[in-house]
Structure 1
Amino acid sequence: MVTKTILALLIPILVGQASGNLNIYPAPEGIHASDKFQVYLSQGGQPQSSFTYITTSDKRAKETPTAKAKRGRSVSWTSFSFSGGAVTVEIHTPQDFHNCIVRPQHYGYKCQRTGNKTAYVTVSSTSRMMSVEFDYDYGSSSEDIKDKMLIFADPPESNVPNEHDSSVLFYKAGVQKLNGQVHLNNSIKTIYLAPAAWVEGGFLTTANHGVTFRGRGILSARSYKWKDDQFTTTATLDVDKGGNHVIEGIVIVDPHHFFFRGRSSCNIIRNVKMIAPWAHNSDGVVLGRYGLVEDTFIWANDDSLKVYADNLVVRRCVVWQAQNGAVFQFGWSAKRYVQNVRISDVDVIHTDWCTFKKSKCHLSTNNAVLDLGGREVTSFKVNDIVISNIRIESSCPRLVYFKMDPASTGSVTNMHFNNWFVESQTAHEILHNEIQGAFNASLSDWTFTNLKIAGECISSPCQADFRLGHHTENINFRCD
């Protein structure tokens, strides 16, 4: 039985019960609130303060001179859950502004200035992961948004575990410091991060059974050094061992290297938020066979989603691609054997590859929405990949870079790209969309159906600056 004391820690403030339940998470003792933004929430009642977190880039910039972390950046964020009627989000900004925008624009949410340094956004659904941006800090093709503001509207939490259960690691509200990466033994089945829990460290599965990581708290590695040797693996949260793991609801912030690895089978990531990847090599998600990623926010400074295993499903995700890496990555290993992948309804709200490069933007082989990074992959068996309903906001320098090493063998066939909507594609003399096979590796039967750039449907490669190299066959562009 959960005690009244524990319930008091877990039950957030309830506001506006006439129109629904708005759950405002408690303020965590020991964590400083953002000095950039303040957020107030209401649902048919008086606005209540929602604790707004902040973390900055300066520590990683000092630690990673070769990984190109930039000083003077911050991200602020707040989370809440609700049911019933819409929630009004009031944001107080450090500077006044004329215009503001909510991304993904696909949500249809409007940001309105309602007074000096004050904006309103009405949020009508849960599982919404939003960037709210102001015209004094919109960024540009050669400048990033210096102070980011993120809003996460969670679905209501259910089935909070018993903290006295010996199979549960239960982290209450407040700061909890781990000794680097905790190795989970055979007895641990659940890791629970309560609302306002700030857990400093990481986790690694070591047993064969499934482990559930859940809650509304925060897993942070910001107090550890970049690539800290207190972590056994590259990922702050690593579930390579075992299978049938579930990661739900938490925020992962300031990774020590990668955010998440789960190369074991049948793992689920749901309603997870990954933020503050200041340095290059801050990869997002890699899953094993039969993996599922849904309703998740990934802001990565390397590959966001690695398409490495059969029967992968990704849906209803939001991606902020920072200066390094690809959104959908097929490269970086000797073999790529993948089939039956379904990716749909992904909003790419920023592609920041040209940020900090001034007017002469040059991209590595690792920078594209769809990418085959590096030349390590030389053996292919890729078939039946469907990537649909992809919405790419702002100006995107490159959509596709998939060039095989000349020594490659195998095949990449039956690739289907349906209903991609690109707000605009940057024109560069040296940047192009490129697809190329190899003498002993067929690259064939790719279809782009309803690829639209700046509202124009693309019916031929040259319309969208696609360069089809040697050893490609049956690459089609169709408008239905």
Structure 2
Amino acid sequence: MKLIIFICFLFAANVVIGQTLVVYPSPKKGFKKESDIYLISITQNGQKKKAFVYKTKAGNGLSREWGRQQNTNLHFVTFSFSGIVTIEVIKLNSSASKAVIKPNRLGILTGKIIAQDRNRKLTFKLSKASKLAIEFDDDAKRKNPLIIFADTLEKIENIPNRSSNTYEVTETYGLAQLDASKNTVYFKPGIYDIGYWDIPSNIKQVYIEGGAYVIGYLNRSANQIKINGRGIISNEGYPYHYPSKFGVIDDNNKNWYLPINIKGGERHLIEGITIIESTGYNIELNAENSLIENVKICGFRFNNDGITIIGIGNTINNCFLRVNDDAIVIYASNLVINNCNFWQLQGSVVQFGWRPHSMSNIAISNCDVLYDEGYDSEGNIGFINAMNHQKANDRTTVQNVSISNVYFDTPIIRFLDIRGERLSTIPTQIPNINQPPWVFKDFKFSNIFFSQNTAVKPLIYLHGFSTEYPLLNFVFQNIYFNKKKLEQKLKSFRKFVAI
């Protein structure tokens, strides 16, 4: 009997360990958010699997809520793999003759687009995990773009073993009555409207399996938590700036619920999930020595900031952020941002300062800006921006910042915009002459690759607070335009600079 059990265990283990392609099911049969434009299948070792393609869409209500995103759609698919796969995309009722796959530097070659009656078929190979934006030439305004999230296989240690300590969600009311002996909450494929959930301190992991669609808001205080999986968190059906009353513009962001809000503690992990249709900000992590990895954010609304990061020793790695405000807002030190893709609808990619906070030792590297649709060159815009809108009650110093290996697949209005003299438009927050300034110093930019110029200048806008408090030691090395290195030296700037 022991031998039979052992052999069965080995067989089961091999099925899991040997799996090199995983596609995820629809949350339910006839799910309303299935794409009506794209069909996708993935083939590996002669085995072809159909992948479920989601469609998320902006509304057509208040212009302040949706802005230029009104009636825009976004289609996306997630699968996990290792090895080499062939991806087949069929675009229904299409006249496309060409397609571009971004990031450009991946050099993914597409085969010829094949006409199939009124449809078009695109095929290409993929050999490593990537986050791809596919642009067909019959959708110039990008009203129905396609995103492919080709993930690595999940780590075994991140998948709950579904033991007696695991609560498998079947009815959401059970979340309010969790037994104290449970330490893991497991969302299987399905649809769950959980509302606002204050995660109990005994819960150490919230696992959202691929195919699970969780509607609501996750809040956690202090205790270490792991929120991961390949499923989706959505704010579908909740009003703008919830819990603000529907139709009322409430700019008090302290009251807004977030899809994920972690306050305090250390060694948290947010991994693998996709967040869509947020009613305000998406993620706020106020902690130490924590990791946000392989998170995908797809937003439409104004104030859809991607990640607000607060604390010391945190890392944001391998994330995709398509947001309609700042992608990453920093109030942190000893921070690493690496290998992220950005699709900027407006706002800045990295925002260094809405309110005063001293920060140091920040490294940003290996990032791709796929699109930047910003249009206001005088406000919150650019890859790096510091708005300085709130008065500094104490002297604020931002220092020791490294930005390297950044690639732009799109024209941009502004790369860098730091103005120490920029004043708040709010009367109660305008600094007076006796208040200490913001100080920015020791910024190094290296290996920056611009693909196209824009008619808007300057590309870099730097202005110190005053002659007494200038910007210090801004260094630029290896700057490229259309693969051609800019030969003239860019000096370290101490006063106003426009290039």
Shared fold by TM > 0.5?
yes
- Equivalent position of 2:137 in the other structure: 135
CA distance 1:74–1:410, shift in 2 (3 Å): closer
Aligned counterpart for 1:394 among listed residues 397, 407, 410 = 410
Tell whether the 8 Å contact from 1:216 to 1:250 is kept in structure 2 after alignment.
yes
- Equivalent position of 2:80 in the other structure: 81
Aligned counterpart for 2:268 among listed residues 242, 245, 261 = 245
Q: CA deviation at 1:384?
A: 0.9
* One-letter code aligned to 1:119: L
Matched position secondary structure for 2:343? strand
TM-score (norm 1): 0.85
CA distance 1:67–1:23, shift in 2 (3 Å): closer
* One-letter code aligned to 1:70: Q
* One-letter code aligned to 2:28: E
Aligned counterpart for 1:352 among listed residues 348, 352, 373 = 373
* 1:434 aligns to 2:461 (yes or no): yes
- Equivalent position of 1:443 in the other structure: 471
- Equivalent position of 1:92 in the other structure: 90
* One-letter code aligned to 1:434: Y
Q: CA deviation at 1:228?
A: 1.2
Matched position secondary structure for 1:106? helix
* One-letter code aligned to 1:375: H
Matched position secondary structure for 2:61? helix
* 1:280 aligns to 2:302 (yes or no): yes
Report the RMSD for the aligned CA atoms in angstroms.
2.5
* Structure 2 unaligned spans of 5+: 1-11, 166-181, 245-253, 423-432
Tell whether the 8 Å contact from 1:67 to 1:281 is kept in structure 2 after alignment.
no
Aligned counterpart for 1:235 among listed residues 258, 267, 276 = 258
Aligned counterpart for 1:262 among listed residues 262, 266, 285 = 285
Distance 2:330 2:107 in 1: 29
- Report the count of equivalent residues: 434
1:94-133 aligned at under 5 Å gives the runs: 94=92, 95-116=94-115, 117-126=120-129, 128-133=130-135
1:96-245 aligned at under 5 Å gives the runs: 96-116=95-115, 117-126=120-129, 128-139=130-141, 145-157=142-154, 158-159=156-157, 160-163=159-162, 164-165=164-165, 166-179=182-195, 181-206=196-221, 208-229=222-243, 233-245=256-268
Q: CA deviation at 1:319?
A: 0.8
Q: CA deviation at 1:81?
A: 0.8
1:59-78 aligned at under 5 Å gives the runs: 61-63=60-62, 65=64, 68-78=67-77
- Equivalent position of 2:386 in the other structure: 372
Q: CA deviation at 1:436?
A: 0.3
Q: CA deviation at 1:380?
A: 2.6
TM-score (norm 2): 0.82
CA distance 1:67–1:138, shift in 2 (3 Å): closer
* Structure 1 unaligned spans of 5+: 1-10, 140-144, 355-361
- Equivalent position of 2:43 in the other structure: 42
Distance 1:274 1:266 in 2: 22
Distance 2:485 2:113 in 1: 38
* One-letter code aligned to 1:363: S
Distance 1:317 1:40 in 2: 25
Q: CA deviation at 1:66?
A: 5.2
Based on CA coordinates, which of the two structures has the bigger radius of gyration?
2
Tell whether the 8 Å contact from 2:369 to 2:410 is kept in structure 1 after alignment.
no
Distance 1:425 1:52 in 2: 35
Q: CA deviation at 1:22?
A: 1.3
For residues 400-452 of structure 1, what are the alpha-carbon distances to aligned partners after superposition, in whole Å with 9 as ceiling and x for unaligned?
11111275525311100110001012013x65521000124231111110111
Distance 1:273 1:217 in 2: 10
* One-letter code aligned to 1:132: I
Identity %: 24
* 1:51 aligns to 2:79 (yes or no): no
* 1:300 aligns to 2:323 (yes or no): yes
Q: CA deviation at 1:74?
A: 0.6
Tell whether the 8 Å contact from 2:216 to 2:235 is kept in structure 1 after alignment.
yes
Tell whether the 8 Å contact from 1:435 to 1:467 is kept in structure 2 after alignment.
no
1:4-43 aligned at under 5 Å gives the runs: 21-29=20-28, 31-32=31-32, 33-43=34-44
